[in-house]
Amino acid sequence: MIQRYEMSEKKEMLKLVAENAMGRCDRAFKDLTEKEIEWRPVPESNNIKWILIHLSQQWNVGIPRMIKANPNYKPAGWPDDYANSNPTLQMVMSDLERGKAAVLSGIDSLSPADLDAEIDLGRGKRKRLTMILTYLLEAVHHEGQVAALRGDITRRREKDKTFLV
């Protein structure tokens, strides 16, 4: 049976999910190196850098667009083509921190009616709460991808002490 929550409880739950997802990412991303983020187990796969850039775009642009119900929102100074701007690891990590702050403060700014509102960002109307929650859960998915790639790196280093050093 699905439990129903009051809107104020939904906001608190949404913030809890955001804090948990972002905390998991913090732990998975800790002490990454430039060499690690560029490595791919096979040429066709995404590397960690791609995942970090994708999450940074979601936290700085995607979720704030949902919070503001503005499909054109971009933070001041955000590049038109962030993914191809080739940000360094330090830049992406800094952008992720800014994105986390924007998401958490944005969630705080939402009223119960805001959460329940249906908004359209170009793909049809959906509840704001559902849209934000979907992106936050995707962050957990990507955290798992990074953990798996880092596990691959660790196992390879067990066999080859010079791997990605």
- pLDDT band of 8, cuts 50, 70, 90: confident
**Residue 79 above 80 pLDDT?**
yes
**For 74-78, what is the mean pLDDT?**
96
Residue 62 lies in a domain: yes
Q: What are the beta bridge partners of residue 119?
A: 126
Residue range(s) defining the domain that contains residue 92: 7-159
Residue 1 lies in a domain: no
**For 127-144, what is the mean pLDDT?**
97
Residue 110 lies in a domain: yes
Q: What is the CATH number of the domain that holds 96?
A: 1.20.120.450
The two tokens of residue 100 are: 């986390």
Task: Please enumerate in sequence order all residues whose Cβ is within 8 A of that of 163, keeping only pairs 6 or more positions apart, or say none.
Answer: 153, 156, 157
Q: Which of 77, 74, 75, 93 is nearest to 36 (CA)?
A: 93
pTM score of the predicted model: 0.92
How high is the pLDDT of residue 6? Answer: 59
Domain total for the chain?
1
Residue 149 lies in a domain: yes
Task: Please enumerate in sequence order all residues whose Cβ is within 8 A of that of 107, keeping only pairs 6 or more positions apart, or say none.
Answer: 11, 14, 15, 18, 67, 132
Amino acid at the residue 127: K
Residue 60 lies in a domain: yes
